[in-house]
């Protein structure tokens, strides 16, 4: 069994949480390596729904350790709230959690800065941030002199003078930039950190060494990406992106492992495309069809509750993610959402000023002007949520999957036909047999 990563091929919300959760029995450690509380992974099992933002999905499994790597930015208040919510439901999440001593802290002033920055932009310039302080925290990470890390919770008394200096600087900057009336109080922020330090400090360690030890003992690692590859800071639809590396290329630095560790790279995509927030979206459907997809797919954000923009599958965009990530196989989700459509669409190219192009322009204004070259396929009828084999899917659904494989030039190995863990179809026996053999949930 190889170390594996699961990443989103689109603009997030692809269903990574379900895929990771379903694969967890085959692994011993699940590692989050990027993003922060702006992520939203929803898992449904046994009639219950779990919404995870910072915690690795593996904490839902009693024999799996969850690791938050150095590439993640951690809001300690949000993390404890999420942990306590699971404990209240009988899941001792904190008992199986390790947090990198090098991970950076999202502080209250980051949330304030995020909110003020976004609200001071006009509609055409807004990024569509979740206002969780992620971007400002990553900015401080790069600025270095205004950063706070998890190791500082362990050495809390040494942090106090630095925090006083940082807060003074933040107050001056926010007042000058936004005329902010909110008062930031260093003493209050320090006491807030003290209130969480006792609970979090025992979980803090050099997670890179921990993962090295786990691998040396023969344990298998699953790396869980947050956000989607089209939101990658370097390769996404900039500037309408997140602040971290979201694809397999982010695993090495974000988790603290060798670049050669990951042998299998699973890319997750819905059977259609969605996007939350601002930014170009070539296949967006702003008509009754788009609304129907939204309602049938329950397309509302796990983190924000915002309605997602919906459109046909954008094979141009997804193919770019497949290429950049060296994706070895696809997990296709929400196939059941398209049941009942007479025709389903796939964008196989873009038209720009009459020319057919097969790649995404870097300029967001140019990308906003392209028209999708749509290929429509026959749809399918009926409730497919109980299907257990690809061969039992309606012919239209099978043809749709086959066309995706042709366009991506890699196999669709996993197909989700419903929200629950059990509503998953495997193309081959590899994952099914491995999960059965190692099941420990």
Give the model's confidence band at 122: pLDDT under 50 very low, under 70 low, under 90 confident, else very high.
Answer: low
Confidence of residue 431 (pLDDT cuts 50, 70, 90): confident
Across the chain, what does the average pLDDT equal?
A: 92
CA 23 to chain centre: 16
Average the pLDDT over 232-256 and give the result. 96
Q: What is the pTM of this model?
A: 0.93
Say what the pLDDT of residue 184 is. Answer: 87
How many whole angstroms separate alpha carbon 96 and alpha carbon 203? 9
pLDDT value for 79: 95
| Catalytic residue from among 3, 21, 28, 41 | 41
pLDDT at 303: 65
Binning pLDDT at 50, 70 and 90, where does residue 39 land? confident
How far is residue 85 from each of residues 13, 198, 247, 254, measured CA to CA in Å?
22, 18, 29, 26
Query: Would the pLDDT of 440 be above 50?
Result: no
Q: In the structure, what pLDDT confidence band is assigned to residue 441 with cuts at 50, 70 and 90?
A: very low
What's the pLDDT at 117?
82
- The 10s digit of each residue's pLDDT in 210-242 is 999 999 999 999 999 999 999 999 999 999 999
- Band of residue 199 on the pLDDT scale cut at 50, 70, 90: very high
Q: Is 13 a catalytic residue?
A: yes
- For the segment 94-104, what is each residue's pLDDT rounded down to a tens digit? 888 999 999 99
The C-alpha atoms of residue 238 and residue 335 are separated, in whole angstroms, by: 29
List beta partners, residue 74: 105
Q: Is omega for the bond preceding 318 within 30 degrees of 0, making it cis?
A: no
pLDDT of 62: 85
Which of these is catalytic: 13, 28, 232, 314?
Answer: 13
Rounded-to-integer distance, Cα 81 and Cα 281, Å: 34
Percent over 70 (pLDDT), the chain:
95
**Is the pLDDT reported for residue 437 higher than 60?**
yes
pLDDT in tens, 298-349: 998 766 678 999 999 999 999 999 999 999 999 999 999 999 999 999 999 9
pLDDT in the model for residue 421:
84
Please indicate whether residue 101 is annotated as part of the active site.
no
Interhelix angle for 16-23 vs 429-438, to 10°? Answer: 60
d(C-alpha 43, C-alpha 51), whole Å: 7
CB 270 within 8 A of CB 296: no
Query: CA torsion angle for 171, 176, 179, 182 (degrees, to 10)?
Result: 0
Contact, 416 vs 18, CB < 8 A? Answer: yes
Mean pLDDT within 2-6? 96
Yes or no: say if 41 and 102 are a contact pair by the CB < 8 Å rule.
no
Is pLDDT at 128 greater than 90 in this prediction?
Answer: no
Q: Please, what sign has the CA dihedral across residues 398, 401, 407, 410? A: negative
Check pLDDT > 50 for residue 380. yes
Query: Residue 434: pLDDT above 80?
Result: no
């Amino acid at each position: 069994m190889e170390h594996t990563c699961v990443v989103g091929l689109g603009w997030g919300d692809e269903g990574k949480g379900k895929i990771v959760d379903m694969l967890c029995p085959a692994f011993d450690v699940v590692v989050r390596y990027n993003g922060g509380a702006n992520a939203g992974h929803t898992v449904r099992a046994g009639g219950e729904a779990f919404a995870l933002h910072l915690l690795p999905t593996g904490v839902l499994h009693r024999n799996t350790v969850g690791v938050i790597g150095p590439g993640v930015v951690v809001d300690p208040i949000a993390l404890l709230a999420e942990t306590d919510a699971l404990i209240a439901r009988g899941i001792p999440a904190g008992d199986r959690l390790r947090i990198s001593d090098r991970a950076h802290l999202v502080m209250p002033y980051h949330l304030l800065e995020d909110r003020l920055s976004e609200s001071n932009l006009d509609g055409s310039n807004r990024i569509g941030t979740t206002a969780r302080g992620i971007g400002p925290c990553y900015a401080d990470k790069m600025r270095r002199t205004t950063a706070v890390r998890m190791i500082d919770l362990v050495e809390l008394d040494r942090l106090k003078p630095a925090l006083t200096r940082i807060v003074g600087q933040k107050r001056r900057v926010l007042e000058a930039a936004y005329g902010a009336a909110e008062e930031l109080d260093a003493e209050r922020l320090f006491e807030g950190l003290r209130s969480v330090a006792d609970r979090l400090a025992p979980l803090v360690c050099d997670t890179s060494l921990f993962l090295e030890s786990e691998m040396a003992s023969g344990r298998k690692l699953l790396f869980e990406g947050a956000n989607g590859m089209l939101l990658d800071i370097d390769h996404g639809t900039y500037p309408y992106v997140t602040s971290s590396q979201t694809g397999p290329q982010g695993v090495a630095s974000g988790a603290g492992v060798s670049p050669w560790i990951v042998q299998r790279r699973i890319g997750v995509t819905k059977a259609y495309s969605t996007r939350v927030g601002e930014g170009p979206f070539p296949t967006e459907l702003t008509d009754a069809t788009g609304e129907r997809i939204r309602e049938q797919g329950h397309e509302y954000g796990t983190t924000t509750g915002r309605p997602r923009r919906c459109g046909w599958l954008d094979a141009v965009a997804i193919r770019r993610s497949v290429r950049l990530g060296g994706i070895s196989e696809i997990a296709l989700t929400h196939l059941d959402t398209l049941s009942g459509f007479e025709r389903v669409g796939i964008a196989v190219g873009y038209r720009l000023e009459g020319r057919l192009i097969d790649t995404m322009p870097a300029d967001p204004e140019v990308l906003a002007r392209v028209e999708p070259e749509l290929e429509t396929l026959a749809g399918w009828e009926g409730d497919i949520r109980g299907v257990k084999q690809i061969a039992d899917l309606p012919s239209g659904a099978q043809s749709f999957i086959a066309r995706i494989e042709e366009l991506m030039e890699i196999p669709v190995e996993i197909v989700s036909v419903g929200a629950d863990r059990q509503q998953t179809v495997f193309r081959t026996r590899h994952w099914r047999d491995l999960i059965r053999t190692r099941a420990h949930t």
